[in-house]
Amino acid sequence: MEQTIERVALFQGSFDPFTAGHESIVRRALPLFDRIVVAVVYNVNKHGLLSVERRKQLIESVFADEPRVSVTSSAGLTVDLAREVGATCLLRGVRSAADFDYEQAMAQANRELSGGKLETLLLYTLPELAHVSSSLVRELISYHRPIDRYMPSNWNRRLIEC
């Protein structure tokens, strides 16, 4: 009898805040995996716009309709979290050549650190979302400008109120 291995991807980032571009990457990757774990990474030395808990709540609200997506947080190494959640693939979004160069180096390092057990899947951002970033959203918020067009389709705006 053949054993089926669950295909789990880890999508890790600061997600401060989680944008329409991030949502697009996860939703487009869902047909490729049995589960996707979205991990909010944090640095105790940095203060973000949203707390880690608020970021997690925001992402959970976006994927409330999708039981194959779970949300966690981490301050450790990517390879350690991947092992903890059973992921064999890292999911990453790429908007530009600069993103690609960075992601290529990280993919090689993570594969090496995992003993060859962790691959990286790069998905290119949809053209209409290529300019969307968490930095852009934070800046618009700081100037009290509308952000709806840059946010996920099903998000809880109360979680962004700072």
What is the b/e burial string over 104-137, where b = at least 16 CB atoms within 10 angstroms of the residue's CB? eeebeebbeebeeebebeebebeeebeebbbeeb
pLDDT at 1: 65
Phi and psi dihedrals of 11, rounded to 5? -115, 105
What pLDDT shows up at residue 159?
Answer: 75
What is the predicted pLDDT for the residue at 100?
94
3-state class of 23 per DSSP? helix
pLDDT greater than 80 at residue 126: yes
Tell me: the pLDDT tens digits for 5-57? 899 999 999 999 999 999 999 999 999 999 999 999 987 777 788 999 999 99
* Domain boundaries, given as residue ranges, for the chain: 8-159
Q: Is the pLDDT of residue 95 over 90?
A: yes
Q: What does pTM read for this prediction?
A: 0.93
Instruction: Please give the average per-residue pLDDT across 105-109, as a whole number.
Output: 97
To the nearest whole percent, how much of the chain has pLDDT over 70?
96
CA distance 49 to 52: 9
Give the mean pLDDT of 84-89: 97
pLDDT exceeds 90 at position 161: no
Class of CATH domain 8-159: alpha beta
